[in-house]
Amino acid sequence: MTPHAISVPDFEPDSGMKALLPGAQFGDCFRVTIDDGALDARQAAEHMFQHQPGWISTLMKLRNIMVAPFGLKRPTHRKALTADSIGPFPVISETPQRLVAGFDDKHLDFRIVIDVAGNAPGRQVLATTLVRTNNLLGRVYLTIIMPFHRIIVPAMLRRI
């Protein structure tokens, strides 16, 4: 049975989360409960990016084409995983319980935080996104992608 990913209601980043991207104006969090008590944060992130639905890759390729004229960073969205990246995103920090990936760009800075906690059968995997916009283009971009983000993250979490 595919796990059900849900939004964490009334998500408010704590001080530790805020330190990952000081000044972030946006944050949300989705979670899924799994039966695998041995899964760590890197493994969860790898499952999310290696096994994502094809429609997500298509959307990301379309996004890259659309932002090219604005000079925004365009990750390759390859599914390759290395010690210093998860898919297209550089890993900033990593422990067995938390993996932080993301990058800074001229329009916005973002972090993807994958946390794992608890034991089977109720082990939780949480995917938190933090964003700090740096200019008008960043605010417009965030507004445009937000409906897609709220569909994509839960879909990726369900692949764990």
What's the pTM value of the predicted model, to 2 decimals?
0.85
Report pLDDT digits (tens) over 5-34: 778 877 888 888 889 999 999 999 999 999
Q: What is the DSSP letter of 23?
A: T
Mean pLDDT, residues 141-153:
90
Residue 13: asked if its preceding bond is cis (omega within 30°), the reply is no
Q: What is the band of 3 on the pLDDT scale with cuts at 50, 70, 90?
A: low
**CB-based contacts of 106: which residues, under 8 Å, 6+ apart?**
71, 72, 134, 135
Report pLDDT digits (tens) over 23-74: 999 999 999 999 888 899 999 999 888 877 777 777 777 777 776 766 666 5
Q: What is the pLDDT of residue 77?
A: 46
SS3 40: coil
SS3 128: strand
Q: Helices 54-67 and 136-157: crossing angle, nearest 10°? A: 170
Domains and CATH numbers, the chain: 6-157 (3.30.530)
Residue 80 has pLDDT above 60, yes or no: no
